[in-house]
């Protein structure tokens, strides 16, 4: 699902409130901005019943260029992992 598909689905499901499509997009943008800020500040974001996003640090390592076979250095970096909540796993 793309961002615009999400906006459209929320727009179609808000039958009783009649929220404009642009307002829904702004709300979703703000929500995801808050997710990112929470992960940056606390190192995690948890939504009960859905799952947790956790900031992890990958160690530096050596890798190999698949085209040339040349060995190269891959520096350490931060990444986000997701762990699904048991309720989400049950529904899948």
Give the relative orientation of helices 21-42 and 3-13 as an angle to the nearest 10 degrees: 120
Question: What DSSP string describes 17-79?
Answer: T---HHHHHHHHHHHHHHHHHHHHHHSEEEETTTEEEEEEEEPPEEEE-TTT--EEEE--EEE
Where does 43-92 sit in CATH, by number?
4.10.520.10
Q: Where are the domains of the chain?
A: 1-42, 43-92
8 A C-beta contact, residue 51 and residue 78: no
Tell me the percentage of the chain whose pLDDT exceeds 70. 99
For residue range 17-62, what is the model confidence (pLDDT) as tens digits? 788 889 989 999 999 999 999 999 999 999 999 999 999 999 999 9
What is this structure's pTM?
Answer: 0.74
């Amino acid at each position: 699902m793309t961002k615009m598909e999400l906006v459209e689905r929320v727009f179609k499901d808000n039958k009783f409130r009649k929220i404009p499509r642009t307002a829904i997009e702004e709300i979703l943008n703000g929500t995801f901005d808050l997710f990112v800020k929470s992960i940056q500040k606390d190192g995690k974001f948890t939504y009960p019943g859905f799952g947790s996003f956790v900031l992890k640090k990958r160690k530096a390592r050596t890798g190999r260029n698949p085209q040339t076979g040349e060995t190269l250095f891959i520096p350490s970096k931060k990444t986000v992992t997701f762990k699904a909540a048991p309720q989400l796993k049950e529904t899948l």
